[in-house]
Structure 1
Amino acid sequence: MKPSSLRTVTKAATSALSLAVAGTATLGAVALHSWSVVALGGVAYATLVAWDLVSGNDTKKKKDEITLRDPATRSAMQTLSTSRLQLDRVLQETSEDVKAHLALVLLSVDELEARATQLATRAEAIASYLLTTDVRIVEQGVRELEQRVRDTRDPEARAHYESAKKAREEHLATLVELTHVKERIFASLVTICATMDALPAKVVRMRALDSAAMDAMTGNLKDELSRMNDDMQSLEETLKSLTEVIV
């Protein structure tokens, strides 16, 4: 764990409210001679620590900023940022009880945002590279070499032309693949944005639910975000071998 992360966890674990819950549970266990009280207190303590981690004790953390020149990627990330601001505004108007239910959900939201940033960085790298190469020129090179292979009568020259043509074809295939990958990343970012856009309304809906219904809705939200995080992680793994060549 990084030092900054460790400091964040330590701060959350030692907040006044978290320690109060833990202390009350321990005193209760001594008075009632019941270790189940300690266990229940531990669950409440863990939940409060999780909430402190995602809320930063109601202090918004500054996120690392990346410079995006690709219009599509920049637009998606701006939409994501706006959605998060809206979610934060709704959370400020939400009771502590509801926010406690959402603690683990918001951890998944933070993870999803981090993955979106990583995907945006890779999309930017791909877009920057594609700007340096004109696909039409590579296509023209392939056609010219095909013609030379057909026209030449010298076997050795033909072999060299065929080798050059193969290299050009591989270059063209890579450019096409990069274009498709960039589109796939953008589609993933759009999906993340749509999910984030819907979260504030779902939080408002939770305010009107009883505890049991709130638990059920929280579980569904967490499952949805977890599935999306898994999908994004799989995409990241697929991209690594391709984008590392150009980054």
Structure 2
Amino acid sequence: MERIEHRACAGGWQDVYRHQSVTLGCAMNFAIYLPPQAEHGPVPVLYWLSGLTCTEQNFITKAGAQRYAAEHGIAIVAPDTSPRGDDVADDAAYDLGKGAGFYLNATQAPWANHYRMYDYVVTELPALIEARFPVSQARALSGHSMGGHGALVLALRNPGRYRSVSAFSPIVAPSQVPWGEKAFNAYLGPDQADWQAWDATALIAHATERLPLLVEQGLGDEFLEKQLRPTLLQTACDAVGHPLQLNLRPDYDHSYYFIASFIGEHVDWHARALHA
């Protein structure tokens, strides 16, 4: 493992590391913010999952989350959004292939060789983080857009593994919108029954843990009606009594200006669960 960035930030350190991922079969970058409290003992971890076209850089340079993490004594880990490298399958479009891993385990060629972001984020990366850094096993999840989908799905599929989960502008029902339909058909094949295991609105009905969901959605989001459709998540939660706080924010769009405006509230939400 090689540290490739090391920057003082909000009293702590914002670092980026590169390591060889066994799960993905390629070199991967991840960012980790260690608050000043980490100098005195293990701190809990918030995992942030970014959206389409992003890398580990987008969140750490645009969201301004570090100062809130420092206030609450929380580390933040932000992985890349897909496997990378010359041998990794790709597509010319922005919404499939590199930068568009969708936080699932692909089953179809040529994607299955490398696209196992679910196993990487749930298992390999936390094991590495917990072995190499002063962090505890108290974990939380958040993310944006495709990463919001990832956060919701990972939490719903792994009861007891995460203390809290939130999302900004998530793709809540990927099996019912163009982004998800394209990715799922490529990564998982045409059988839509196989898609349900990666769709938050489908998983809600069978969830064995009623972990409260915090979802932030801008009403000025250009992808709101076609790709995001948060009312589908509200309907699924209402049907089974799953706790959901859906904040609909007038005027805000899909950008990191939206995330930066409310990230402090989300870090506070996670801090209360992580320190409970």
Provide the TM-score with structure 1 as the length reference. 0.20
The structure with more helix, counted as a fraction of residues: 1
Q: Return the structure number with greater relative CO, CA threshold 8 A, min gap 6.
A: 1
**Bigger radius of gyration among the two:** 1
Provide the TM-score with structure 2 as the length reference. 0.19
The structure with more strand, counted as a fraction of residues: 2
